[in-house]
Amino acid sequence: MITLALSKGRIFDETLPLLRAAGIEVLEDPETSRKLILATNKADLRVVLVRATDVPTYVEYGGADLGITGRDTLIEHGGQGLYQPLDLDIARCRISVAVRKDFDYASAVRQGSRLRVATKYVAIARDFFATKGVHVDLIKLYGSMELAPLTGLADAIVDLVSTGNTLKANDLVEVETIMDISARLVVNQAALKLKQAALRQTIDGFAAALRQAPDRNS
């Protein structure tokens, strides 16, 4: 049995067409079913639904043989022990620095001010500001990052931006892009040896599906 870990929402929705192109149908809809283990039309492949941030953990410890997760989550997790054979080019977005419209970020950086930055992406933010030589106090949040500059909790946030609508709705502006994000296939290294044939087939199925639809996001 091969177990694929997915998270509900955008990753699940954008993975379905790739699975379909690889001849795999998930037999239940996570939006209507409360089940966490979903069968597929392949007797030896099942999907498990986990929180996005837990996908690397499931794959690292063998709770799943492979998983699909954003580059952001992988970097924060550290990616230890995970084989990362494919960028699936789905769930594309970026991680950016954003501030209130009336905050002069460029001049704060120029003057060497110490910035308070709220984020869920502490490792990515730490690395980015260290490379820039900007001193920051990082405040770890788990969601609603946009609120931090509006309430005076922070000067800036580091967060995912996709359409930019959430920033706009909260009167924030994007001042720097840190990196582009897309979802990656990750594989448990031990499983790759123990279940080599079945996993290779699944990985090759994803690779072929990607080749069939190289520009579906553009």
- Amino acid making up residue 76: E
Tell me: does residue 182 bind ligand PRP (CB under 6 A): no
Of the candidate spans 53-61, 69-77, 108-116, 156-164, the one that interacts with ligand PRP by CB under 6 A turns out to be 156-164
**SS3 of residue 113 by DSSP:** coil
Neighbours of 161 (CB within 10 A): 19
Cα gap 102→21, rounded to integer Å: 48
Which residues share a beta bridge with 97? Answer: 158, 176
Tell me: does residue 164 bind ligand PRP (CB under 6 A): yes
CB of 9 to ligand PRP, least distance (A): 7
CB nearer to ligand PRP: pick between 171 and 204: 171
CB nearer to ligand PRP: pick between 95 and 109: 95
CB nearer to ligand PRP: pick between 51 and 216: 51
CB of 57 to ligand PRP, least distance (A): 17
Choice from 165, 197, 214, 215 touching ligand PRP (CB under 6 A): 165
Given a contact cutoff of 8 angstroms between Cβ atoms, the answer to whether 48 and 6 are in contact is yes
H or E stretch at 174: strand 172-181
Tell me: does residue 160 bind ligand PRP (CB under 6 A): yes
The two three-digit tokens of residue 47, written as one number: 């999907």
Tell me: does residue 143 bind ligand PRP (CB under 6 A): yes
- 115-119 and 156-161 as β-strands: parallel, antiparallel, unpaired? parallel
CB of 164 to ligand PRP, least distance (A): 5
To which residue do tokens 């309430």 refer? Answer: 151
Q: Which residues bind ligand PRP (CB under 6 A)?
A: 143, 145, 159-166
